[in-house]
Amino acid sequence: MQGVVVLGATGSIGDSTLDVIARHPDKYRVVALSAHSNAEKLLALCLQFFPQQAVLVEEGKSQWLRAELKAAGSQTELLTGAKALEDIAAHPDARQVMAAIVGAAGLLPTLAAVRAGKRVLLANKEALVMSGELFMDEVARHGAELLPIDSEHNAIFQSLPFACQQGDHYRHHGVSQILLTGSGGPFRTRDLASFGAITPAQAVAHPNWSMGQKISVDSATMMNKGLEFIEARWLFDCAVDDIQVVLHPQSIIHSMVRYSDGSVLAQMGNPDMRTPIAHAMAYPERIDAGVEPLDFFSLGQFSFDQPDPARYPCLYLAINACRLGQGATTVLNAANEVAVDAFLKGRLPFTGIAGLVEQSLDTLAHKTARDLRSILELDQEARHYAERLLPC
């Protein structure tokens, strides 16, 4: 029986993770759960999964939640505040930690799980975008086990030779290229001239995946693929020129690995995050994830294309930032979080997202950020800079 902590339990990845856990009560038990502010959902999860501890980051409804837990006879201890996330991430009874907080807020709790030597199930790609080099150094130093949850990186991991899954470099095992696939999002065929009129509701309606709001907007701009490019660079120690982005609108192939003998290995499946979650939780074994088997006779055709820079400027901003280094990717991530939030609140047009990120990079990308303190300072500086650029 393995103890699991779910950071970001009330989100989309949190839902999928708890669904997999609920299918295997003989294998996994929930040690702790976290939520930002959704006290009602956290209450329901505590009563269903009986965690030892739960964290509600925003204190507003904590008194209400504590009273409800007590009235229901729950033994769950309720903690509040962001620091408590780091405490549950290092909980001694947990073997695995699902890092599924969205954005930069996930960095410190995810690092706490790494430093406690856990098996870290990494969904929070922003942590790696901000601190890739430092993060990977900490994984090695503390003997943590890092398994990718992002479907593309999980597909790459599965398509690599076993020796590479255990830490060998792909170049020593006949791998010549990493092919990172992406659907192109909801606006792949939309008239470019109408991009200024895109609404938040249209942007979050992804054709293949059901996800949180921020990653859905990132998928529409393809910043998500850019963040994933940087994520792949660090997870697999890739040279930037070894990664190629391939549009694959059907989202059935989740990514591929090209070998020097001409072979290409792909991982396929229905677009359902329970597959990579179950893979990473049970690795190297396989367990039922509750995912519908892929029916090849009803799939139709697969197609592939190159991403157009005019349609997806954010993708190319991210690839450039990846070449520049950790300071640039920290700025990219911070400015993008500000831009996406402003777009969702109606303060910035969809077409303004790339411009805000580009201007922030132009001013701040030269800054270096090697240690955690300077990364967090640069993240704050970039946020303030991007916020000042927003229209009033």
Longest dimension (CA), the chain: 64
For ligand NAD, the closer of residues 175 and 243 by Cβ is 243
Asked whether position 100 contacts ligand NAD by CB under 6 A, the answer is: yes
CB of residue 210 to ligand NAD, shortest distance in Å: 7
Asked whether position 272 contacts Mg ion by CB under 5 A, the answer is: no
73: exposed, middle or buried (C-beta count within 10 Å: 0-12, 13-18, 19+)? exposed
Per DSSP, the three-state class of 322 is helix
What stretch of H or E contains 191?
A: none
Of 73-81, 99-107, 229-237, 373-381: span binding ligand NAD (CB under 6 A): 99-107
Q: Is 12 annotated as a binding residue?
A: yes
Among 5, 13, 98, 280, binds ligand NAD (CB under 6 A): 13
Q: Is 16 annotated as a binding residue?
A: no
Q: Is 159 annotated as a binding residue?
A: no
Q: Which amino acid is at 162?
A: F
Contact yes or no for 137/165 (Cβ under 8 A): no
Asked whether position 259 contacts ligand NAD by CB under 6 A, the answer is: no
Of 35-43, 177-185, 315-323, 353-361: span binding ligand NAD (CB under 6 A): 35-43
CB of residue 36 to ligand NAD, shortest distance in Å: 3
Q: Is 37 annotated as a binding residue?
A: no
* Count of helices and strands (H, E) across the chain: 16, 11
Respond yes or no on whether the N-terminal peptide bond of residue 284 is cis (omega within 30° of 0). Answer: yes
For Mg ion, the closer of residues 96 and 183 by Cβ is 183
Please work out, in degrees rounded to the nearest 5, the angle formed at the alpha carbon of residue 353 by the alpha carbons of 348 and 358. Answer: 130
CB of residue 297 to ligand NAD, shortest distance in Å: 26
- The C-alpha R_g of the chain, in whole angstroms, comes to 20
Among 3, 4, 5, 11, binds ligand NAD (CB under 6 A): 11
CB of residue 318 to ligand NAD, shortest distance in Å: 13
Scanning the structure block, which residue is given the tokens 């597909």?
A: 155
- 121 backbone dihedrals φ, ψ, rounded to 5°: -95, 105
Contact positions with Mg ion (CB under 5 A) in 138-157: 150-152
DSSP secondary structure string, 351-379? THHHHHHHHHHHHHTT----SHHHHHHHH
For ligand NAD, the closer of residues 150 and 381 by Cβ is 150
| Residue 121: strand pairing partners | 98, 147
For ligand NAD, the closer of residues 175 and 226 by Cβ is 226
Neighbours of 384 (CB within 10 A): 11
For ligand NAD, the closer of residues 161 and 212 by Cβ is 212
What, of ligand NAD, Mg ion, none, does residue 211 touch, CB below 5 to 8 Å by kind? ligand NAD
Of 208-216, 233-241, 255-263, 355-363: span binding ligand NAD (CB under 6 A): 208-216
Asked whether position 36 contacts ligand NAD by CB under 6 A, the answer is: yes
Give the contact letters, 297-336, x = binds to ligand NAD (CB under 6 A), - = no: ----------------------------------------
Q: How far apart are CA 372 and CA 83, in angstroms?
A: 16
What, of Mg ion, ligand NAD, none, does residue 238 touch, CB below 5 to 8 Å by kind? none
What stretch of H or E contains 40?
A: helix 39-49
Q: Is 206 annotated as a binding residue?
A: yes
Asked whether position 57 contacts ligand NAD by CB under 6 A, the answer is: yes
Q: Is 336 annotated as a binding residue?
A: no
Asked whether position 209 contacts ligand NAD by CB under 6 A, the answer is: yes
Buried b (16+ CB within 10 A) or exposed e, 292-331: eeeeeeeeeeeeeeebeeebbbbbbbbbbbbeebbbbbbb
Q: Name the residues that contact ligand NAD, by CB under 6 A.
A: 8-14, 35-36, 38, 57, 100-102, 105, 123-126, 150, 209, 211-213, 215, 273
